[in-house]
Structure 1
Amino acid sequence: MKKFTLVALAMMASASCFAQTTLWNGEDINITSKEHAGFWADANPELVGNPEKDGINTSVHCLKFVISKDNKVVKLPFREWMQPSMNGSKRVSLMIKKDAAENVKVELSDPTDGSAGYWKKQVVWYGGGDKWQKLVFDFTSNGDFDNPGIMTITAQTGDVNAEQTVYIDNIVIEEAPKINGKLFSEYNAENPITGNLKLTGAWMKGESTNADGDWTPNSYNDFEYFNQLASAGVTSIDMRGTVTKDVDINQFFFKNPNTIVYADAAYDHANVVVGGNAANLVLTDANAFNAPVDFTAESVKLTRSLQNGINSFVLPFEVSASELGASKVATFKETNGDIANFETVAEVEANKPFLTIDAKEAKELKFVDKTIVATPETLADNDFVGVYAPTSGEGKYGINAKGNLQKGGADAKLNAFHAYLNVTDTNHAPARIALNGSTLTAINSITADKVVDTAVYDISGRRVYGKLHKGLYIMNGKKVVVK
């Protein structure tokens, strides 16, 4: 058991400060006032000007006291009217500046005088090099509690061989991390985290030591815990305005690499939007995509297979044929009998499904300086529908190699950033595609595991309805003789 030298600080009155509950900040409490007379009883603590405002702590005032061999312990009683609530949080943080790099301990007691209740103890290493440092004490491993009554801060856990000046400031209860206003405890395997998300509270990674008995390591990582509860359906994370410490940004992308993260600070990862701009946007058609807020991307890389000929597309930014390695791009106009009519355009606007004409085979596409437009509720252009999430292709009409529309079978799949024709009257489904009034041929199919075409065509490629007479026909891509 390590020897402790205690410096006690009573908790101050709670006050809401953004995403935190402020216990003491050096600005609102006058320790010599009549209201707080006797509150600071020992060690002659004094409210002083911040000796180093150009670092991470820019407060005007802070608390100063001196630890010495003859004066190791400060006992500061707690007032009933000062009882704060943890509000589901398990963390307390403070700013500290001291002469030596040593362990710092925080203890929380029950709401009375501490004699008959619990003491919860956590230790964190101070390595600030005589600079202000924020220390976070995580009490997750100390059991449940909500209304601590006394805070004890140990600024020196060994023998005091010489005087040490200690400065403390900004003592707060960090708000519990929340997803769309809900605590982690509200999510599980049956109810995973999914969709577009708004994070609030304090999101942190770090470690402290449980010192209730023997010292036991206590690591915490809100980002890793998020990943454990998240589904592949997480498409965006807005973490702007959260309080953070040691952000583990990679955890947001393990389930869905297409996830868009809106943040206040830049991180070494693609798909992070800061101030409305992302340096790199990296997408794949194997995962879902959704951007709830517009932003610009300096570079975009999309992984999806293009076949020689014609491909279906939908993209979250404006695009031209040359950028896709195609001779033309075309948008849907209408269906007319057995013909689905498309018209060529110079450029296709964001979130509008389209076709590429005479595209070259490729597995990856790259773009520069693109404005990503927020994803609308629907991606339909009349009966031509785009998809931003992998979905079943069953019953959806894709494009086969002969330029005819083909119905997806039970195992058919449609990847993100593709499109399909929504056919409601399957007895009169369009069989071919026309571009600017001219019928196209040699059109490749959209991505699908299996496709089934029950339509029948004559040798000229015209669809045949009703009873078949003697002759040669095309059925499911094969020649069939009816006698």
Structure 2
Amino acid sequence: MKKFTLVALAMMASASCFAQTTLWDGEDKEINADYKSNGFWNRCNPVVVKNPDRGGINTSEKCVKFTITGNDWSNGDIVLPISGGLDMSTNKRLSIMIKKPLWSNVRIELSDGKTYWRKIAAHYSIKNEDNWQKLVFDFSDYGDDLNAKNPTELAIYPRFEGGQVGSHEIYVDNIVLEANPTVNGSPLGDAEEGSLDGNLNLTGSYFKTTYFIVDPWTTKEIDDFAELNKKLSDGVTSIDIRDASTIGVDINKFFDGKNPNTIVYANEYYDRGNNNYANIVVGADGVGTAKSLELTDAYAFNAPHEFNAESVKLTREVQAGINSFVLPFAVTADELGATQVATYENCNKANKIANFITAERVEANTPFLAMGAAETKELSFENKNKDIVATPKPLDDGFVGVYTKTPANGMYGINKDGKLQKGGEGAYVNAFHAYLNVPEVLGVAFNGSTPTAINGVAADKVADTAVYDLSGRRVYGKLQKGLYIMNGKKVVVK
């Protein structure tokens, strides 16, 4: 195979399981530069041009254009020399941005400079118009011998298929050796099933796509989102995918069978079905926006970064009368359907009375009592543009709000009759509720007045008889066959 004068290619960084390596992106090349200065061999007339479509997934200013007239090596491909060879000992996924006028299988081949010995294809599809697509080529099946042969050349063949003839202009950009998928800096593959919880930051590549091994032709699937779902526990509270390289994001795999309160920080909105974009925050920290936020007190909640939610819905049982709350956004009594809200002041150790101060508004992450509320099973804050404040650690205070199910043995909460109740063994407080963390209390007073009807202290323990489905919704009436949450445990109804 004849070679032409090559220009050495500077690698951005050594490949590792934690970093990607850009092999070519055109941004440091001159417009209309020919093969002598743009890094490719002189085959099929490669030239650096302005990106003809920056409105899609490829916003780069520059890319390479070339023309193919057939499938043979001299008329149907471009070749990128790799100075020093390509280290694929840990990272074995290559991705390429490509824009072309016809559908076809795009084949890439790796070479050691003597023979092309590793061939993989991916499918470029046309839907009404040619646009940039990101194709992935995974060499994992070739094992360690891939790196041992030190690939020094990469050929890209945008193949002609049956009936496709003539001359076609092809655009290529962002040739990348992708990083492996990682969670909080550790390889996803090293995590045990059901072990990941809390706030997770995804980096590396997370793909759902198909590629093909050429000899023999074998279809291969990549689904990092299904793999992540296996590793998640129902204690996961947020997933940040803004720094991950993604294709085919399956957003529901962040929620299916896991925590429905999970907050996903992303670079774009993803439809969870039926135009549902709940719990997806788009934008930078502090200025991100969610179309809607859907929460339930049956699962934990934690927002590591603040954002604005256009609408909020909270599934929790609100009893007629008095209820305890803590919410990640400011709220008024009117919004809760209550007559008053009150925040904790102190507990008088002499008369054992907990003192609260009434207010018109309660700030985010402040435990409070709401009085005069109507009975409901769902609180809705439609089109309120609520500012969700980052969730702090639990407050060590006399009146404590919780964002996760919390043991309440020896603590005082509000029971279904609107009275104080000291929790016995096995008692707990659900998320978005609050409890009094004091040695002993006999009643509650507001604004220094005589203790109100809330002052009756009930028996130690009340069993939790509420039943929830796996999405955290309260279930009423006769239970159908399936899996439910009862008293904090999973129960099968046959």
Give the conservation status (yes or no) of the 8 Å contact 1:120–1:139: no
The aligned residue for residue 422 of structure 2 is 407
Worse-superposed segment, 166-175 or 303-312: 166-175
Counterpart-to-counterpart distance in 1, 2:36 and 2:180: 33
Worse-superposed segment, 383-392 or 332-341: 332-341
What amino acid is the match of 2:208? K
Matched, 1:286 2:298: yes
Structure 1 residue 365, shift from structure 2 partner: 0.6
Closer/same/farther in 2, CA of residues 169 and 234 from structure 1, 3 Å limit: same
- After superposition, where does 1:302-341 map in structure 2 within 5 Å? 302-336=314-348, 337-341=351-355
The aligned residue for residue 182 of structure 1 is 186
Q: Which structure 1 segments of 5+ residues have no match? A: 1-8, 452-483
Closer/same/farther in 2, CA of residues 355 and 77 from structure 1, 3 Å limit: closer
The aligned residue for residue 101 of structure 1 is 103
Matched, 1:92 2:108: no
Closer/same/farther in 2, CA of residues 439 and 20 from structure 1, 3 Å limit: same
Counterpart-to-counterpart distance in 2, 1:297 and 1:80: 47
Give the conservation status (yes or no) of the 8 Å contact 1:199–1:239: yes
Q: How many residues matched?
A: 430
Secondary structure at the counterpart of residue 81 of structure 1? coil
Of 206, 216, 219, which aligns to 2:218?
216
Structure 1 residue 288, shift from structure 2 partner: 0.7
Closer/same/farther in 2, CA of residues 70 and 378 from structure 1, 3 Å limit: closer
Structure 1 residue 289, shift from structure 2 partner: 0.7
Structure 1 residue 218, shift from structure 2 partner: 1.5
The aligned residue for residue 45 of structure 1 is 45
Counterpart-to-counterpart distance in 1, 2:151 and 2:303: 42
Closer/same/farther in 2, CA of residues 178 and 102 from structure 1, 3 Å limit: same
Matched, 1:441 2:453: yes
Worse-superposed segment, 150-159 or 311-320: 150-159
Give the conservation status (yes or no) of the 8 Å contact 2:110–2:153: yes
Matched, 1:136 2:135: yes
Q: For the aligned residues, what is the CA RMSD?
A: 3.6
Closer/same/farther in 2, CA of residues 260 and 130 from structure 1, 3 Å limit: closer
Give the conservation status (yes or no) of the 8 Å contact 1:106–1:122: yes
Worse-superposed segment, 273-282 or 15-24: 15-24
Secondary structure at the counterpart of residue 291 of structure 2? strand
Secondary structure at the counterpart of residue 23 of structure 1? strand
Q: Which has the larger radius of gyration?
A: 1
The aligned residue for residue 490 of structure 2 is none
What amino acid is the match of 2:192? N
What amino acid is the match of 1:305? E
Give the conservation status (yes or no) of the 8 Å contact 1:95–1:132: no
Secondary structure at the counterpart of residue 332 of structure 1? strand
Deviation track 1:405-436 (CA, whole Å, cap 9, x = no partner) reads 3322223231100111113x4xxx21222223
Matched, 1:352 2:361: no
Counterpart-to-counterpart distance in 2, 1:361 and 1:161: 67
- After superposition, where does 1:61-72 map in structure 2 within 5 Å? 61-68=63-70
* TM-score of the two chains, using structure 2 as the length reference: 0.76
Of 387, 406, 416, which aligns to 1:371?
387
Counterpart-to-counterpart distance in 2, 1:355 and 1:54: 52
Of 264, 267, 271, which aligns to 1:264?
267
Give the conservation status (yes or no) of the 8 Å contact 1:124–1:135: no
Structure 1 residue 240, shift from structure 2 partner: 2.3
Structure 1 residue 74, shift from structure 2 partner: 6.8
Give the conservation status (yes or no) of the 8 Å contact 2:124–2:133: no
Secondary structure at the counterpart of residue 302 of structure 2? coil
Counterpart-to-counterpart distance in 2, 1:48 and 1:403: 73
- After superposition, where does 1:131-170 map in structure 2 within 5 Å? 131-139=130-138, 142-145=141-144, 146=147, 148-156=151-159, 162-170=165-173
Closer/same/farther in 2, CA of residues 76 and 321 from structure 1, 3 Å limit: closer
* TM-score of the two chains, using structure 1 as the length reference: 0.78
Closer/same/farther in 2, CA of residues 353 and 67 from structure 1, 3 Å limit: same
Counterpart-to-counterpart distance in 2, 1:161 and 1:383: 75
Secondary structure at the counterpart of residue 322 of structure 2? strand
Secondary structure at the counterpart of residue 49 of structure 1? strand
Worse-superposed segment, 342-351 or 136-145: 136-145
Counterpart-to-counterpart distance in 2, 1:283 and 1:217: 40
Matched, 1:23 2:23: yes
Closer/same/farther in 2, CA of residues 447 and 359 from structure 1, 3 Å limit: farther
Q: How many percent identity over aligned positions?
A: 42
Closer/same/farther in 2, CA of residues 120 and 12 from structure 1, 3 Å limit: farther
Structure 1 residue 230, shift from structure 2 partner: 1.0
Counterpart-to-counterpart distance in 2, 1:64 and 1:218: 29
Secondary structure at the counterpart of residue 439 of structure 1? coil
Of 388, 396, 399, which aligns to 2:403?
388
Give the conservation status (yes or no) of the 8 Å contact 2:207–2:247: yes
Counterpart-to-counterpart distance in 1, 2:94 and 2:7: 13
Give the conservation status (yes or no) of the 8 Å contact 1:176–1:183: yes
Give the conservation status (yes or no) of the 8 Å contact 1:101–1:129: no
Worse-superposed segment, 356-365 or 48-57: 48-57
Structure 1 residue 105, shift from structure 2 partner: 1.4
Structure 1 residue 132, shift from structure 2 partner: 4.0
Structure 1 residue 402, shift from structure 2 partner: 6.8
Worse-superposed segment, 57-66 or 96-105: 57-66
